[in-house]
Amino acid sequence: MAKFKWSNYVNALVVIAALGYFVDIYDLILFSIVRVPSLKSLGLTGTALFDTGVLVLNAQMAGMLLGGILWGILGDRRGRLSVLFGSILLYSTANIANGFVHSVDAYLIWRFIAGIGLAGELGAGITLVTETLPKETRGWGTMMIASVGISGAILAGTVAELFDWRMCYWIGGGLGFLLLLLRVGAYESGLYKSVQHAGVSRGRFISLFTSWKRFFKYLRCILIGLPTWYVIGILVTFSPELAKTLGIVGNVSAGRAVMVAYGGLVVGDVASGILSQILKSRRKVVAVFLGMAIMTTAAYFYLPIHSVRHFYWACFGLGVSVGYWAIFVTVAAEQFGTNLRATVATTVPNFIRGSIIPLTALFAYWKPQLGIVGSGVSVGILCIGLAFSALFAMEETFGKELDYIEHL
C-alpha cells in the first residue's frame, strides 16, 4: 500500500483558501441573517422589510456579478494571489463601513461594494488549489475549502444571536483583516507561472462568447449550480414569509434558518466530496444531489409540517441537498485551460449567486397567478430541470490533467 502523504490532500494553500472562504461566507450571508433587525433599525416596517430586503440583496448580488468578471480576469492576468489579497481587503473594508450606515441608500451602496469584493475569494482559492494538488486527490482539497468555508454561515448565525447587527458587520471586517496577515508568504501556482512566462494570452473573458463550444461549456457550468441559490436565496432567505404561508405555527427566524441550512451544506459538501472520490466522478455526484434537491424541495412545500422545529429540519435537508457547491466549482475549474481557468472559476459561482436577481423577479411575477407556493415550486422545477439538462451534456473531469491552455 502506498505511504499516506498528508501533502497529497492538504497544504498551506488549502488552509489559507479554506479560511478565506470561511470569512467570505460569513460576510456573504450576513445580510440574509440580519435583514429584519437591520432594516427595522433604519425605520422600515411591514412589507418594506421584504421589498427593501430583496433590493439590498440584489444590490449585493449585482456587485458579485461585476466583481466575478473583474477578479476572474485579474486572476488570469496578474495571478491567483493578487485576487486572494485584493478581494478580502475590499470586502472587509466594505463590511466595516456597513456597520456605520444610517440610511437604506448607504446600505445599498456598501452591500454593492462588498459584493464586488466577495466575488473573488472562492474562484481564486479553488483555482490555486486545483493547480497545486495531485489530480487524483485535488477533490479532497476543494472539499475542505467548501466545508470549512461554508461553516462561516454558522458562525454568522451564532454571532447574530449574541450581538447587535452593526457589531456583526464589524466582526466580519475584522476577521478579514486578520486573515490578510496569514496570507503573507503564500505562493503562486506553478502552472500559472509557466503560462505567464510563456507570454500566453490570458484572462480574455470575451473569448468565452466567441466560440460556441466554449460558450455552451461555460453555460453548462453555470446551469448545474442554479438550484443552490434557488434554495438559499429564496427558500431559506425568505423563510419567515414562506413559513407563514405554509401554516407554520410560531415565528421562524431567518438567521436560524440560514444557520441550519448552511449546517446542512457543510454535511452535503463533505458527503459529495467523499462520494466523488469513491465514485471517481463529478457528474454522478451532481446527479445524486440534484435528485435529493427534488425530494427536499417537495418536502419543504408539501409535507404537513406545522412546528418551527420541523421547519428548521426541512431547511437543514435543503442545505444537504445542494451541498455540491465544491464539486461544481471544481468542475468549472477543470473544464478550462490555465490561461482562462481563474476567469471561469471566479465568474461561474458569482453568476449563479447573481441568478437570484432574475429568480426572485420570476418568483414575484408568478406569485399573483400561482400563489407563493405555486410560484416557489415552479421556479424550483425550472432551476433543477435546467441543471439536469446541462449535466447530461457535460464532460467528466475527475482526474483530468490541467496542464493545458485555451487557444484564444
CB atoms within 10 A of CB 366: 18
List the domain boundaries for the chain: 11-392
Average pLDDT over residues 195-224: 88
b/e per residue, 353-364, with b = 16+ CB within 10 A? bbbbbebbebbe
Nearest to 31, CA basis, from 359, 353, 258: 258
Mapped onto helix, strand or coil, the DSSP state of residue 307 is strand
Rounded to two decimals, the pTM is 0.84
Per residue in 298-344, pLDDT tens? 999 988 888 998 999 999 999 999 999 878 888 888 999 888 988 99
Query: What would the grid cell of residue 367 be?
Result: 406569485
Express the helix, strand and coil content of the chain in percent, nearest 5 each: 75, 0, 20
Q: Given this model, what pLDDT does residue 8 score?
A: 44
Q: Given this model, what pLDDT does residue 396 score?
A: 92
Nearest to 83, CA basis, from 21, 173, 8: 21
Per residue in 349-377, pLDDT tens? 888 888 888 898 898 889 888 888 889 89
* pLDDT at 7 > cutoff 50: no
Query: What would the grid cell of residue 54 be?
Result: 430583496
* Percent of the chain's residues with pLDDT above 70: 96
Q: How far apart are CA 68 and CA 126, in angstroms?
A: 14
Do 170 and 96 touch, CB atoms closer than 8 A? yes
Nearest to 363, CA basis, from 147, 69, 54: 54
Q: Given this model, what pLDDT does residue 111 score?
A: 94
303 Cβ contact list (under 8 Å, min separation 6): 314
Query: What would the grid cell of residue 208 be?
Result: 468565452
Greater model confidence, 364 or 10: 364
CA 146 to chain centre: 9
Average pLDDT over residues 43-57: 84
The position carrying cell 456573504 is 28
Q: Given this model, what pLDDT does residue 314 score?
A: 93
Average pLDDT over residues 95-123: 91
Q: How far apart are CA 237 and CA 216, in angstroms?
A: 30
Average pLDDT, the chain: 86
Q: Given this model, what pLDDT does residue 53 score?
A: 84
How many helices (H) and strands (E) the chain has is answered by: 17, 0
Q: Given this model, what pLDDT does residue 11 score?
A: 67
Q: How far apart are CA 304 and CA 186, in angstroms?
A: 51
* pLDDT at 52 > cutoff 50: yes
Average pLDDT over residues 37-44: 90
Give the alpha-carbon dihedral of 141, 145, 146, 147, to 10 degrees. 90
* pLDDT at 204 > cutoff 70: yes
Band of the pLDDT at 166, cuts 50, 70, 90? very high
Greater model confidence, 150 or 41: 41
Band of the pLDDT at 125, cuts 50, 70, 90? confident
Nearest to 247, CA basis, from 310, 296, 294, 318: 310
b/e per residue, 212-221, with b = 16+ CB within 10 A? eebeebbbbb
Average pLDDT over residues 139-147: 82
Tell me the CA distances in angstroms from 75 to 55, 92, 209, 241, one per residue in order: 29, 19, 19, 40
Q: Given this model, what pLDDT does residue 378 score?
A: 94
Work out the burial of residue 277: count CB atoms within 10 Å of its CB; fewer than 13 is exposed, 13-18 middle, 19 or more buried: middle
Q: Given this model, what pLDDT does residue 4 score?
A: 37
The position carrying cell 483558501 is 17
Q: How far apart are CA 407 and CA 201, in angstroms?
A: 8
Work out the burial of residue 265: count CB atoms within 10 Å of its CB; fewer than 13 is exposed, 13-18 middle, 19 or more buried: buried
Q: How far apart are CA 122 and CA 108, in angstroms?
A: 23
Q: What is the DSSP string of 226-274?
A: HHHHHIIIIIITTHHHHHHHTT-BSPPPHHHHHHHHHHHHHHHHHHHHH
Second-level CATH architecture of 11-392: Up-down Bundle (1.20)
* Percent of the chain's residues with pLDDT above 90: 35
Q: How far apart are CA 108 and CA 52, in angstroms?
A: 10
Cα angle: 323, vertex 396, 349; to 5 degrees: 40
Per residue in 281-292, pLDDT tens? 999 999 999 999
Q: Given this model, what pLDDT does residue 10 score?
A: 52
- Phi, psi dihedrals of residue 69, rounded to the nearest 5°: -70, -50
Band of the pLDDT at 185, cuts 50, 70, 90? low
CA 367 to chain centre: 26
